Structure 1
């Protein structure tokens, strides 16, 4: 699928993972779309190399199934989210714009299913002892917000749950990202589960 949308330019294409990495390093795009399963170099390893060598480039993974076994690993590698391959052009364009601004790409329902399914066998065990150290910069309210973000709540849902304005919620989220060195909500979800701040299935 070739993306054509106002304000979005496709600067390059690649036939395999190795070509994708080389193209990103050469062309320096803002966002890269990677298929999880690619020849020569799979999308997961390609994502790792791109994020390590071109950290300003946001990565979106494309997959056939919404609970693909590699999706959680892709988020751990630093990808900003994932989409199904049958996504519409309009949805894809919206996703690219959201990721480019550091906003949420993963829909709340997908976030919940994803983390509950994969935070166990495909990731490191939750490190309960790491939480006080890694999350120490956060205030009690910021920890609460991070926990709700990890459960898939959007800013509007957070505002309703906490009886705050959306502007205040956005400020809390931005401060959390800044204090913890996070790029986006995808990384926030991974960190919250890996530190044991929240656990799969918790409500």
Structure 2
């Protein structure tokens, strides 16, 4: 039995995905969510033993999109696999999804059997399944060894943290405490504490080590 969650802001898309999965008795839908924020709320309300093993994640969603959600979720919940299920097959999206921590990249037009086999692949073999069209693009990108653009590198930053929060995050990752950061930036320790709390909340992380992992992963420092 594979436990799965669907995250997509479009109700018709969610219904279509559920209809594709319905004939497979070894696939169990744990929950569906309308965006990343909704996903975190529903996931965190469950006991760990009820977590989905795979999350089928859309990319373009309001409030918290798929790339940002995967980036934080793959650190906070590393035992869960995240498969992008989208209509996009452009270079930037592929790079961003892989960088964020996606375990696979499929197109919504893919057949049900392909989606189910991809979920089994990531759960049983820790594979990296891709739609044929995506796999061809990925091979071309690897062959041409392109360099990520600045917009790709900053995608998560632009979605999540303000300039001041990024400034404080860098100091936190360097190991400075609230009072040291306050002295360095000429603000009060309470202001630093407020910013740090906001950083944790925005990134949906709950420990310094998780924040540091995400910061190093995305080269924020």
TM-score (norm 2): 0.50
Residue 85 of structure 2 is aligned to residue 38 of structure 1: no
Paired position in structure 2 for 1:48: 71
Unaligned runs of 5+ in 1: 125-203
Contact 2:85–2:108 at 8 Å: present in 1 too? Answer: yes
Residue 146 of structure 2 is aligned to residue 120 of structure 1: yes
Residue 127 of structure 2 is aligned to residue 103 of structure 1: yes
Greater relative contact order, per chain length (Cα 8 Å cut-off, separation 6+):
1
Could you say which structure has the higher helix fraction?
A: 2
Q: Deviations for 1:111-143, whole angstroms, at most 9, x for unmatched residues?
A: 34225337524369xxxxxxxxxxxxxxxxxxx
SS in structure 2 of the partner of residue 9 of structure 1? strand
Structure 1 residues 68 and 38, CA gap change in structure 2 (3 angstroms): farther
Question: Structure 2: how far apart are the matches of 1:98 and 1:35?
Answer: 19
SS in structure 2 of the partner of residue 90 of structure 1? helix
- 1:20 is displaced (CA, Å) by 1.6
Q: RMSD of the TM alignment (CA)?
A: 2.3
Residue 110 of structure 2 is aligned to residue 70 of structure 1: no
Greater radius of gyration (CA)? 2
Equivalenced residues, count: 124
Could you say which structure has the higher strand fraction?
A: 2
Paired position in structure 2 for 1:23: 42
Structure 1 residues 92 and 109, CA gap change in structure 2 (3 angstroms): closer
SS in structure 2 of the partner of residue 21 of structure 1? helix
- 1:26 is displaced (CA, Å) by 3.6
Contact 2:54–2:80 at 8 Å: present in 1 too? Answer: yes
Question: Structure 2: how far apart are the matches of 1:57 and 1:25?
Answer: 13
Question: Structure 1: how far apart are the matches of 2:35 and 2:131?
Answer: 28
1:80-159 to 2 correspondences below 5 Å: 80-101=103-124, 102-106=126-130, 110-117=134-141, 120-122=146-148
Unaligned runs of 5+ in 2: 1-16, 151-221
- 1:103 is displaced (CA, Å) by 2.5
